[in-house]
Structure 1
Amino acid sequence: MVKVLTYFGMTLAAFAFWQSMDKVHVWIALHQDEKQERMEKEAEVKRVRAELLRRAREEDPLA
């Protein structure tokens, strides 16, 4: 009986561990995606800003 309970307990613990690792993996992947999107958005803003500054300098060389 002890062997059966030990097996059941270990199986349950392994299942709980597997599920928690799966949730951690999904959480990490989502945050990496969010970080990548934020970095891409910031790079686009910098690129557009640099382009606008370049155009402003070309149009008004005295400024």
Structure 2
Amino acid sequence: MVKVATYFGMSLAAFVFWQSMDKVHVWIALHQDEKQERLEKEAEIRRVREQLIREQASQKDSSY
């Protein structure tokens, strides 16, 4: 009886462990996706800002 209870307890613990690891992996993947999206948005903002600065500089140069 003790062996059966021990086996059941270990099986349950392994199941809970793997379920929690699965949730951790999903959380990590989502966090990395969010980070990648944020970095892409920041790069796009930087690119557009540099383009606007260049356009403003060229307009200033042409007005003189």
- For the criterion TM > 0.5, the same-fold answer is yes
The answer for the alignment partner of 1:5 in structure 2 is: 5
User: Aligned-residue CA RMSD in angstroms?
Assistant: 0.9
Count of matched residue positions in the alignment of Structure 1 and Structure 2: 62
Q: Which amino acid aligns with 1:33?
A: D
Question: Whose helix fraction is larger, Structure 1's or Structure 2's?
Answer: 2
Residue pairs, 1:1-63, within 5 angstroms: 1-61=1-61
CA distance in 2, matches of 1:60, 1:35: 37
User: How far has the Cα of 1:20 moved from its partner?
Assistant: 0.2
List gaps (5 residues or longer) in structure 1. none
Q: Sequence identity, in percent?
A: 73
- Bigger RCO (CA 8 Å, 6+ sep): 1
List gaps (5 residues or longer) in structure 2. none
Q: Which amino acid aligns with 1:52?
A: L
CA distance in 1, matches of 2:17, 2:31: 21
Q: Per-residue CA shift, 1:9-59, capped at 9, x if unaligned? A: 000000000000000000000000000000000000000000000000001
